[in-house]
Amino acid sequence: MNYTLHQLHVFLTISRTGSITKSAEELHLTQPAVSIQLKNFQDQFEMPLTEVVGRKLYITDFGKEIAAAAEKILEEANAINYISSAYGNLLAGRLKISVVSTGKYIMPYLLSDFMKEHVGVDLLMDVTNKSSVIKSLENNEVDFALVSVMPGGISLEHMPLMYNQLYVVANTELASQYDINTWEDLTNIPLIYREQGSGTRQVMEQFFKANNIAVEKKMELTTNEAVKQAVLAGLGCSIMPVIGLKNELNDGLLKILPVEGFPIQSTWHLIWLKKKRLTSVATAFLQLIQKEKDAIIKEQFGWIDEYVAKSIKGKS
């Protein structure tokens, strides 16, 4: 055997993504380069690591065992680097965070100073849907998660960060067409929904149920960014977290409809398992957030009230 750590990393990525294309994107390599590394790695085994069925790549049972072993080898290799850094008085290790899709507008700012100060820390941040975030937390695969709606049935520690304000938004053309003032008027407009299980969808439906509102669901999309693009294209209106609309509000591409009872809101929380033994890296990050969160939020998100007021005034 003469495999390299790079080959292990490439194969582990392929086994996780199930795709040469996605692996190339994640590894910042060309597809041919990934394919070559896979071939060179495969040549060292008599049993096939992968098979292609109907143009789809599958990992064989043998390949899955090799991937599991590769993950352990890479973790041990990383441990050597972290030990070396620790002896040099550097905070070193991995920080693993899972973030719901709209949390991508918040978490980078919470991480920025920490990552700049601790160059020996490797960050693994997964931006995904709420169900995947909760699953990774339950499986103890991450140190922290960022959610806008607290999950039930899990024993958690949590730190509230800031309000997540949701408004009714439309593009400029549709905003001029609709006369929306009360929440009952929402029954007259086509609404674009997030997928079932998302925090935004949950908050929306709780509001509708509490106020006995029956609305027309125009379409359902799986990411906040997809919803935003659909609203920009004039396919309908939506109820969206204002935190992801800074540029569109500033440029006048989206307008907030002044609906009575809005914003509806939830709270962004940093959460972690109650009995989890935090690593030195995770502990240091938590301490920094506890100390600096108010200053970070004020500096990075102080624009929200001003932009909302400007948008609503422009609509009226």
Note whether 125 and 222 are within 8 A (CB).
Answer: no
Same fold, 5-86 and 164-265+308-315: no
Q: What is the pLDDT of residue 315?
A: 52
Bridge partner list, 57: 52
Phi-psi region of 206 (alpha: psi -120 to 50; beta: other; left: phi over 0): alpha
Q: Which residue has 């190339």 as its token pair?
A: 24
> What is the reported pLDDT for 316?
47
Domain limits, the chain: 5-86, 91-161+267-301, 164-265+308-315
Cβ–Cβ < 8 Å for 190, 234? no
CA distance 90 to 293: 23
Partners of 56 in the beta sheet? 53
- CATH node for 5-86: 1.10.10.10
d(CA 180, CA 259): 6
15-35 pLDDT, tens digit each: 988 899 989 888 888 999 999
- d(CA 7, CA 4) in angstroms, rounded, equals 5
pLDDT tens figures, 158-206: 999 999 999 999 998 888 877 766 667 777 778 898 888 788 888 888 8
Helices (H), 51-155: 61-87, 107-117, 130-138
> Is residue 224 within 8 Å of residue 166, measured between CB atoms?
no
Q: How far apart are the first and last CA of the chain?
A: 71
- Whole-angstrom distance, CA of residue 93 vs CA of residue 191: 45
- State the fold for domain 164-265+308-315: D-Maltodextrin-Binding Protein; domain 2 (3.40.190)
Assigned CATH for 91-161+267-301: 3.40.190.10
Relative to beta strand 144-147, strand 264-273 is: antiparallel
Q: Give helix 107-117 / helix 280-301 axis angle, nearest 10°.
A: 130
Using DSSP's 3-state secondary structure scheme, residue 187 falls into helix
Largest CA-CA distance found in the chain, in angstroms, rounded: 71
Q: Name the pairing type of β-strands 56-59 and 264-273.
A: unpaired
Q: Which residues of the chain have pLDDT under 50?
A: 316
User: What DSSP designation does 92 have?
Assistant: -
C-alpha–C-alpha distance, residues 164 and 145, integer Å? 16
Angle made by CA atoms 190, 212, 176, in degrees to the nearest 5: 30
Strand, helix or coil for residue 316: coil
Give the SS3 label for residue 28: coil
CA 105 to chain centre: 9
Q: Which residues pair with 129 in a beta bridge?
A: none
